[in-house]
Amino acid sequence: MPFFSFKEKEELSLLIDVGNGTLTVALTLFSKNKQPKFLNSIKMPFVIGEKPDADRLLENMYSLLDSGLSKLLKDGTPKDPSDGKVYRISRAMVAYSSPWFILKTKHLSLSQDVPFFITKSFLDDIASKEEKIFKEELNKNDPEMKGSFEVIEKSIVHTKINGYNLDYSIGKKTKTLDAFLCLSVVTKSIIEKTMDTIMKYTHIGRDKVLMHTFPLVSFSVIRDILGNDSDFVIFDVTSEVTDVTLVQNSVVTQTASIPSGRNFIIRAIVREFNVSFEIAESMLSMSKNAKMDEKTGDKMQEIIANTEKEWNIYLENALSELSSDISLPANVYMTADEDIADIYFSFLKMPKMDRTEVWRKNIKIVHVNGDFLKNLYEVAPTVKVDEFIALSAVFFEKIWNK
């Protein structure tokens, strides 16, 4: 992961959100003591097949990234539409959602009789040793992966000194250190193709491109917003999967994934009504707004009920991965497209006679949407952004200001 040295008071950066059902590219202006400002944003859907296909998904992602950057930068030098000021792209950040990465978190506890100073090189050495162990584990578990991946995150996301939480520990003297490390990898071929496409349109160096995973991005922003609320669960409902992140004591402790998301419902509508994906999406929107006849509406409710039954099986298994007895925080924060957010809210709140019963009764769900984030960024006139790219901007802004 590159270490950025920010010297300018104002810089234009390229943000890329690589999902599994959509890909978003955005030009965002970062200024000292100001909120990030979106100058332009383009969100593009993947071509949805009858069944999720890894090879097709990958090719679709490459194609969307190329066409998206071509459209975003079609007029050459970017301008602020509000005042016409011209900018040059200085940096870029890519945030990958599932299934593009493998993520691991680890709690490291160090103790010495003699007090020691915490330095950047000391923390870097810890992260590098754990990176080596992580790579060895991946190679052992799947020999075919050997040498085919690259670590994009080896971030110490939180530290405790002598039992006390600290946002910044460098330069401190202590006898005990608890460090919470986040490690993630993406295959080299994906990274190289992404980098080549970015440099094709921006001509910035590879060292100017930062890469992260969306679970770390969303966790970091939500944690900063909540402040004292240090225990919560994040549900990131995307097109093909639902990523679940457990945060305890302000640290990501576990992650799990449910192989079902928005497109699971869309595909069920396609099958039941024998319609195209576009019409199925329209029908889902009409159902949400109660704009269909009673017979069709009843059928839609049946489809959603059947989706819930299957999703719940995955949910129980995922929550068990996070906590064997599903003793989880009651506060839940969800990212999801507007047309299915209420559906997944109802899925989580639905009473069940299983291991999730007690947790479901107590949860409080917050939709991390535009309203939740609206005070943290600005948009130029006519520009629209969703919560996924907005979270990336707020996350990058924190790095930029540091």
| Domains defined along the chain, listed by start | 10-100+189-225+371-401 (3.30.420.40), 102-185 (3.30.1490), 227-367 (3.30.420.40)
Tens of pLDDT, residues 96-120: 998 899 998 888 888 888 888 888 8
Q: Which two tokens stand for residue 198?
A: 């970015």
pLDDT of 301 above 50: yes
CA distance 259 to 294: 31
Please state whether the peptide bond connecting residue 99 to the residue before it is cis, i.e. omega within 30 degrees of 0.
Answer: yes
Beta bridge partners of 235: 244, 334
**Chain centre to alpha carbon of residue 361:** 27
What integer pLDDT is reported at residue 292 of this predicted model?
80
- Reference 242, options 209, 219, 264, 212; nearest CA is 264
Band of the pLDDT at 166, cuts 50, 70, 90? low
Tens of pLDDT, residues 389-399: 999 999 999 88
Name the average pLDDT for the chain: 88
- Those residues with Cβ within 8 angstroms of residue 11's Cβ, 6 or more apart along the chain or in another chain: 29, 30, 31, 87, 90, 91, 400
R_g (Cα) of the chain, nearest Å: 22
Mean pLDDT of 136-158: 83
CA distance 177 to 108: 8
Mean pLDDT of 2-22: 78
What integer pLDDT is reported at residue 302 of this predicted model?
94
pLDDT of 323 above 60: yes
CA distance 279 to 276: 5
What integer pLDDT is reported at residue 313 of this predicted model?
92
Band of the pLDDT at 190, cuts 50, 70, 90? very high
